[in-house]
Amino acid sequence: MKIAITGGTGFVGRHLARRLAAEGHEVVLVARGVDRRDPGLGSVSGVHLEPVGTGDAAALLRAFAGCDAVAHCAGINREIGDQTYAEVHVAGTRRVVDAARRAGVKRLVFVSFLRARPDCSSAYHESKFAAEEIVRGSGLEHTILRPGVIYGAGDHMLDHLSHAFHTFPVFALVGLRDQFVRPLAIADLVTILRAALIDGRLAGATLAVTGPEEMPLAEAVRRVARAVGRRPWMFRMPLAFHRVLAWFCEQTMVTPLVSKAQVRILSEGVAEPALPGDALPEDLRPLTPFSDAVIRSGLPAARRLGPADCLCWSRRMARAG
C-alpha cells in the first residue's frame, strides 16, 4: 500500500514510517523539513519526502496522489508566529481532508489527544477536538485515535527529562497535588495505527489509547531519573510558577523544556479521556510496561543543555552560516 503521513518527520510520524517501510509499504512523508533527531529517515528504502506543510492545499493534493490512506499526525504543542493551533490543527486538518477527498484517498487516520474537548479554555485541547469534528464529517473512512503521554526514542518526554536531569540538580513537579498518567510506548501506538491504515480495522471509531499502567506523574518522573542515573531533588511548585516557566522556555529555547500547553495537560492528568469513545479490541491494547529497560531504550545521548538550545544562539548561527 501507499501511505502518506502528515507530520511525517515528527515523533509519531517517523516511527510509523519506519514500521510501514520495513513491511514493504510505500511511504510519503509530508513535512516541512527533516527532523534533526532522525536525519536518515528520508533515505530509508520505500520512503519519499514531500517537503510541504499542511498550509499548502495544492501541494497536499500532489503529495496524496495515488495514496491508499493518510495518517494525519501533524501537530504542534506551542504557537510560533503564524503556526497557531487554529492554523495547524483546525485549518490544516481541513486542508488535509479536502486534499485526501480530491486525491481519491479512501482511508484517513487522525492522531488527536486524550483530553481533547470543546469549551475548556485551552486552545490546544479545543483545536484538537475541532479537528476531530472535521475528520468525522469528512465522508472518508476514518479512525480517530486519542493517545495520552507517548514516550520512545526521539520523544519530548524522555528527551526533555533526560536533558533536565543532566543539567539541573533539582526538578520542580507540576502543581501542589499529584495527577496521574498512563505512559504509552510509541511502538504500541504504531501497532494500532498500522491496524487502522493497512488492515482497515477500527473504521468509524474514536478511541482513547493509553499505556497499561496508571501512576502518579511524580512516579513517572522518578522512573526516568533512575533510568538516566540521576537523583535530583524533586519538589512541588504551583501552576502559576510553571506557567511563567513555560512562557520563558517558549521565548528563549529552540525546543522548550516545557510549553504552556504541556503545563495545562499535566495539571489535569493524562490517564482518562475527557470524552467517551469506543473500546480498543483486546488484541490491540497496549501492553508495554513503563520499565527501566524500556525507558533506557528510548533515552537520547546524555548531554547538558547549552547555548545551542537557545533561540538567540540558533538565530545567530543561522545568520553566520
Q: Span 16-24, mean pLDDT? A: 97
Q: Is the pLDDT of residue 35 over 90?
A: no
Domain assignment present for residue 296? The answer is no
Domain assignment present for residue 277? The answer is no
Domain assignment present for residue 226? The answer is no
Q: Is the pLDDT of residue 316 over 90?
A: no
Share of the chain above pLDDT 70, in %: 96
Question: What pLDDT score was predicted for residue 262?
Answer: 95
Q: Span 27-51, mean pLDDT? A: 82
51-to-56, 76, 119, 274 alpha-carbon distances in Å = 11, 17, 34, 34
CATH of the domain at 80: 3.40.50.720
Q: Span 100-125, mean pLDDT? A: 97
Q: Span 112-123, mean pLDDT? A: 97
Determine the Cα–Cα distance for residues 315 and 320; give it in Å rounded to an integer. Answer: 9
Domain span at residue 98 reads 2-152+183-209
Determine the Cα–Cα distance for residues 160 and 263; give it in Å rounded to an integer. Answer: 14
Domain assignment present for residue 158? The answer is no
DSSP secondary structure letter of residue 80? B
Question: What pLDDT score was predicted for residue 191?
Answer: 98
Question: What pLDDT score was predicted for residue 42?
Answer: 73
Domain assignment present for residue 241? The answer is no
Domain assignment present for residue 118? The answer is yes
At residue 38 the predicted structure's pLDDT band, cuts being 50, 70 and 90, is: confident
Domain assignment present for residue 175? The answer is no
Q: What is the pLDDT of residues 243-278, one digit of tens each?
A: 999 999 999 998 899 999 999 999 999 999 999 999
Alpha-carbon torsion (171, 174, 177, 183), positive or negative: negative
Determine the Cα–Cα distance for residues 92 and 54; give it in Å rounded to an integer. Answer: 5
Determine the Cα–Cα distance for residues 227 and 289; give it in Å rounded to an integer. Answer: 14
Domain assignment present for residue 112? The answer is yes
Instruction: Count structural domains, the chain.
Output: 1
DSSP secondary structure letter of residue 299? P
